[in-house]
Amino acid sequence: MTKIIGKLAVVAAMVAGAGALNAQTMVFAHGTWNDVTLGSGVTAEVNEYGVMNRSILNSGSTQNINFLGRAASSDVNAGSVQNVNNGGVATHTRLVGGTQNVNSGGVANDTLSNASSSIQNVYEVGVTNRTVLTAGTQNIHSGGVANNTVIYSGGLLVNDGGKSAGAKIEGPSAGMGVHSGGVAEGTVIGGGGVQTVNSGGLSLGTDVVNGSHNIASGGLSSDSTVRPTARRMS
């Protein structure tokens, strides 16, 4: 039995299996909800002044972090989705094959992606800070901003209208692609990582310490620094 502490009362939620909530929508505000596992078919709505800590999202479940809602230390497993919506904040989410969508006005801090099927999407006016990829993909879409992403393995894709600032590419299996209309500013390439600036893409102030800085036909790199151990190809 999991305690859900809400605005008016303490509600006991029956759980099925190993503490999993199944086939229902849980609407939550003005309180704290700890240590809940969401099963298939469950949607958790974290609304104003609601806080959800240490939740586990299994396949088929969804966590919506809405205006003034907060979620910390969620595990997003394969087949599940965490949506960070306008005014919502997610911190220390772990993507274990699942998807995190940072939508307009949402903020995600300190996300860790550690499975190859994990995806973090950053949409218009969405912001991520300090995402770490040991596997998986970060997609920055039009109007989205990703600050200080670190890629040890996996990929960062800066799409039309998206912006990456202060990213670090830190391994031979780590890469960044800057597509037409995308901007990457202040990227540091080390550990054999690769940044590719495609036609119409823009790279500003890249520091190539140990890795490759590839400029495709029609791509633009400005104010980059290439160290003796690095490669710049255009």
User: Model confidence over 134-159: pLDDT tens digits?
Assistant: 999 999 999 999 999 999 999 999 99
Q: What is the percent of the chain where pLDDT is above 90? A: 81
Does 83 have pLDDT greater than 50? Answer: yes
Does 7 have pLDDT greater than 60? Answer: no
Confidence band for 230, pLDDT divided at 50, 70 and 90: low
pLDDT, tens digit, 9 for 90 and up, residues 33-50: 899 999 999 999 999 999
Q: Cβ atoms within 10 A of the Cβ of 23, count?
A: 10
State the pLDDT at residue 13.
37
pTM for the whole structure? 0.89
Listed range (50-54, 109-113, 161-165, 227-231) with the worst mean pLDDT: 227-231
State the pLDDT at residue 22.
55
The enclosing H or E element of 53 equals strand 50-53
Cα four-point dihedral sign 82, 50, 92, 132: positive
Q: Which tokens is 227 given?
A: 């160290």
Query: Under 8 Å CB-to-CB from 37, ≥6 apart: which residues?
Result: 15, 18, 19, 20, 21, 55, 56, 58
Does 183 have pLDDT greater than 70? Answer: yes
What is the residue whose two structure tokens read 């099927």?
117
Alpha carbons 36 and 47: distance in angstroms, whole number: 16
DSSP assignment letter at 34: E
Domain count, the chain: 1
Domain that includes residue 172, residue range: 2-233
State the pLDDT at residue 233.
60
Contact indicator for 133, 111 with CB cutoff of 8 Å:
no
